[in-house]
Structure 1
Amino acid sequence: MGGRLALVVASQCAALGTQRQINDIDVLAQQLLSELSEHGGWESVTGDGNALLDPTRDQLLTAISAAFDAAAQQNATLLFSFVGHGVYHPQGLAYYLLAKDSPEVPNADGAIDLGYRIKTCLDRRDNYSLDGLIVMVDACASGGAIDRASDEWVAVIPRNAGRLELLTAAADDQPAYDACFTRTALKTLREGDVQGNSVISVDSLRAPIARGCRRVEPGHMSLTMSGAALATRGGDPGLWLVPNAARGDCLKDRPSAGLVDQLTRDLFWTENTWDAVAELVNHKPPRLRVVVGPAGSGKSAIMGLLIRATKHDNEQLIPEKYVSAAVFLDAASSPSSVAEELVAQLSRTLPGFPEAAERVASMLSEEQLRTRGPLERLVMLPFAAVATKHAVHIIVDGLDQPDHGNRDELLSAITAMTTDAAARHLCIIIGVRAGTVAAEDPRLDSAYRVTIELPSVQAVVNATIAVRGGITKEDLAGTRISDAPISGGWLISRLLAEISRLPANWSSADDSVLARAVAQRIDDASAPADDGTPSKTSAASIRRLLAVLLAVGVGPVLPFEVAQTALIRLGGSGISESTLRNLITSLGSLIARTAPKSEEERIGLAHLAFRRPIAGHIAGDLAAAHLAIADSLTSQGSTQMLAYRTKAGARHLALGGRVGDALALTEHLLPDHQRILGPDHPDVLRIRNNIAYWRGETGDLVGALTAFELLLSDCQRILGADHPDTLEARSNIASWRGESGDIPGALTSAEHLLPDQQRILGHDHPDTLRTRSNIAFCRGRSGDTTGAIAAFGELLTDRCRVLGPDHPDTFRTRSNIASWLGISGDFTAALAYFEQLLHDQHRVLGRDHPDTLRIRSNIANCYSRSGNSLRALAAFEQLVTDQQRILGHDHPNTLLTRSSLASLQEQSGTTASTPVAVKQRFADYTRAIGSPTFDTVRIREWIRHLRRGGR
């Protein structure tokens, strides 16, 4: 299924006479089809690899209908290209394509009414649809086709094709001038466009055609809206024609090339941004440079500018091919995956590198192959063996994205590579988000640091006007526009260029603007069209897709086929490839994609800043999404699927509640890793850490502690006592001692760990703050509630300073203070804390966010423990109603609330307590979780207590 089908037609109308014949259009049409087929993978609909030449009206009509049928049945993308004669009738808004036997003055019986014909072909697709449609018309007065499209096609696109690109030789009723449109398009497909993106698309053909055919301006229409959203700027990136042969940057033919296209589209830069680019380019030593800035400041886009060597005001500020290799990190990135990608790029961009890599590999001993890190072995050593006298720049963007272990190993390798004298010409530019652990790592202290600030409200207003058009500053922000920096920065201007309705009073500088813009973008994706036609991208489908992407994380990491299967498992029956691409495109700039409409296509959330507002708006069941993804990862899948299963399969199982299955999968994968990498490899140690953790999650506390203690011994031997992974093993031992009930042992372990973390990681490191939280908790569990409250209070001050008042860890600390106040018996203070926290979570996360629901549960429990049964009953009843609506009837939190409500009803005399009723609640909860947890263990003990006659 799927694929790319093309119908290319060349037609000379005999009635126009020989003087109006177009030279060589049969040759042009065949060459166009050959170019599309050879380099873009397009197959001729005719089946013989030939263009359709000089058809009669009936033959052309039959061919168009057959092309739509074939593409729809295969769920394929269809390209229809016509070169010949056309006539526009403005009175009837009809644009006619002339066949060989068409009259000079055409009508519907003697020619093809293009708008009506395409509308009809789209509208009769009831049970299947195209995976996008491209129409190219090289004929006189073809701007009339756009007029017709806006009237005839818009109504049927959202519920059928979903995505359409229309390009015409003229934007109005001007002549086409001897097929100049097709000649220039063919030349561009062959030679590429040095100013274009990584692929040649319909949208990117406009500029070269306008330059090559000076007497006319090509017309373009992109219909990618589903619901109320505006057409995605630049169209659907999956509707590409051929790769851009003229692109010579390091990402040529690499999957992330499309991501850079997305990052650098419609940029609006301030002089401060270009100053930062100049600073990066012109600064020589040291060899490690770091670009730091908050979310939305444009760090990754700057990396894209460096890769593309983009001009500024026609000045070549960035040297051509300035960057030799670039990698954009995500949650699944590891040193091995980064090394493999850099090798693939350097083998093409750096002369002599492939030969050097081969020599190095043959010289290393088996022990060296096993013990040296992948970046040193595969990148740094071969680079040092290359005889280069010029600086070689590598970009590593998003250092804050990978998990702790991978991030630490990457940073160690990068600092080693940029200080090794043998690789003195190697320079690495890192992009990292401000305020993260990675940004403050002391290993970056010697790097040259370029700080990128958030744009002002004024700059975002100007950018939105430039991109969106048709609006004024007053439309956006009224007459008074702030110069203060705006949280979310350039992300907001991208969203405002797409959404149907601009947020009221959006010009404030806080992060509520971004949240409202994200919410509007999601609502637009599933809203009905202006004429009331339902959108094919239903609200339920949009929520499912966003839940899946929230479960995956940031960056285009999820294979397309896995996303499709996961959506079907979540209840999205009938989710075809085209339907999924409709969903993806309908969400516009919220989604990141690599290699669209290819075997390597992957998707993910476009930015970390989108996670919280999306989660608050959709309130999806992330546990169900994790399981849907995990169950889509079969052991017999594609190479991409198997790679993702190895990297993330166990994580999805664990976060979905099936911890036992996560443990089994990880234990199954461990021997292969040990055999390939060796028992002392950091990746193997990391896998053992996960196995130990998941053993504890399954209830095997003794097994978890034993595994962590063995791991600690090996970490100390292999990595050293001060290595972050060694500290993490000690932290896990302290935590699981507490879980097993050994509170004194847990407290002692944590108190011994804290000074070492403060010395090695720093007082403000998240791991250090987390240990302080564990110490405070253990003090409370030891009976020192006053000490616990005081310790949590001191921690709150530091977390507010380091992370900000609205960070999840800050909220969690406030919740702990409220909980221990309640445990101490001060229910008035506890309720006041909880209610203020609830107010703030409403503001930041939304009323339907799972964390907000959790605080409501704590408030209800506080009412219950303080003896206010009536308020507790009312709170629990309302909470369980909302949980069933938002999380589902079988969600663990819903079932726990039902259990608490039933217990309270029994205590108040509303219902009778019976072991049968409690057993049913236990069965429901166990069914939802999928495997025993500490909560099910407590419920099991409660059943035994009731059987003994207890209350």
Structure 2
Amino acid sequence: MAQFGGVAAGRLNVAQMVIATESAAARNGPWVTLAAPTGERDPLFPVRGREALLGDVMRLCTQGGGGRLHVLQGFGGSGKTSVVLEAVIRLEEQRAAPQQVWWLDARREPSLIAGITALARKVGLRPHELRSEDMADALWGRLSVLPFRWVLVLDSADEPSLLDGPGKLASGTGWLRPHSAPDGVVIVTTRRSAAGEWGGHAVLHAVGPLPVADAGDVLLDHTGPAGGTRREAEALGRRLGGLPLALRMAGSYLAEVIGMPEAFHDPDTPVNFAAYLRALERGGAPAGALQAVTETKRLSVELMERRGFPLAGRLLGMLAAFADAPIPPTLLLRPSALSCTQGLEGLDGPTLWRMLKEFTALGILDQLPAAEQPPQLLTVRLHPLIRDVSREAGGVGDAIALMACAVALAEIGLPEEPEAWPVWELLSPHALYLGRHVTADSGLEEEARLSGAETVELAARYLQALGLFGQACKEYETVLAVRRRYLGDEHPDTLSIRHNLASAHHDLGDLSRARAGYEAVWGLWTRAGGEDHLHALLARHELARVLHDLGLLEEAKAHHEQVLAQEQRLHGDEHPRTMASRHELARVLHDAGQLAAARSEYEAIFNARLRTLGAQHPRTLTAQHNLACVLDDLGQHGAAHSQFEIVLAGRSAVLGLKHPRTLNTQVRLARSLHAQGGIAQAGELMQAVWRMSGEVLGQDHPDTLRVSSFLHRWGLV
């Protein structure tokens, strides 16, 4: 409970508050001012990126606030005070300033009460009115009838409960109230964004981060071109979260370093925007650069602790261990998952939800719109600088445990299934970021490294499903290194990642490595569980596909026939794995020139998948694509063209326009157009595919080279 005058504030009435404040002033001096702190404005550095808000505040100051409470809300250091101060000074310079501006410091209750008491004297309340129980009523009665334009600013009111005074702020009975003065305006600056705390008479004006271009301007204002290029300034501004205070501190630091003799530079001293950005990324930013943000974080945590959330700092440290990306709390922060962590396992759902709302209200977290995500996937994002100063020992291990537990509990679907992709889009940045620690010298225990590797594998499977084969391959190699170290080369989990790595090599067109990988995995699974073992059959199936792509059709056919017989015996004729084997055998028939037989098989497979999976499922679209291919090869170009257009629409919607499978359909559509005489249209489409394939897969990928060969054949390259 706040203390002043030696008495607990919560037990004083209004008169006692004023008496206590006056007594303190008599002992210590009248340490209160109602003057605006105009000296804090530096005329050398303009306020950037706030012109619209500045215009709004200036209009309020000259036209009145309509009796409403106008609240400028934003993260600490976002420039709320600077905007109001700039508005007041500009109006003064334009000779349009209100007759009276009163500026109160609302950070602490003693200074707030002292300021309100001084304001009451200024507007003419007599001594006995100052000591009466209804002083607040008398003050607002007087303010409402003043015959001149006035502005009352309460700066840094980060704890709205201090403004309750004799009643309640939200009810209009506190120290701040609705008023009827046509020429008066009340402006508050605060980090609190919860509208319910301010009441229905309040108007909230959000003060967000600066746009990237304006953030770059703030840095360049301080250093000029000596700090680097505009692009480098904007990159640093983005990393600093567009926070004006952090931008000014970084700009001032660089200006000082640039101006000092080089002999005084330490080896690690950032001397330009790019170097400063690198220092931030490796956690070695200049000591004072994040000081204000650290103080903001400390004050926020202390405020939440006073409000009954003793685990606020611990939760913040947990959030800071995740990636600088949207965090889905309904997935990652459910109480059942927090039971896997140290120190947060006792949090219940309602308390956790209130803590997240408090962090959001304080600007520590930004709640992000769901965009195209399902409505239940609420996301929040930690301010990047708060993230920098909140990391703590043990946070990574807890975050890894939390992630693994959340994935296990959420039943979110396989990374290969398109309906699960919205969830994996949110989870994969965090899984991959935490995965950086599983091979590093990070002090993690073996269990944490293996758990982290498991979630990295899932995220890599999602990348592979999206067609990002190179990234997936890199992440698989990370997982393989961890499992080989702790589990050995033949452990089931190690064999699983070796299988996935061979699959990524196949997708990348590295057929020799894919073949070697599958042969090894097939042999080891067969030795461990026999020829009918699930994973042995899967490895053999994929090996046959690689042999097919190597042109070894007879060898591929022999493997596929054996796998198909085993799958039929084990699972029946319409099991998805049986159908997959039939599909690959149909491809062998197709490439062997047995077009009629291939067509019959493709039609049967397509119809079965259409019935069981639906028209938009990737496997259904693959069967339809291959059916269209065999129709085209049979000379039925019109029928093939229609099928390719259907598949292209489906793959574009499900996989995206640049997915390798979508590109493959565009290639076949172009060939069909060319065969029907649409030479120009076919050429334009094939050239577009060639550019996209080079971008996505690389110029040396077999698919890109195949497209290039068609362009050469058609005389377009």
TM (norm. structure 1) is 0.38
**When the two structures are superposed, what TM-score results if normalisation uses the length of structure 2?**
0.48
Radius of gyration: which is bigger? 2
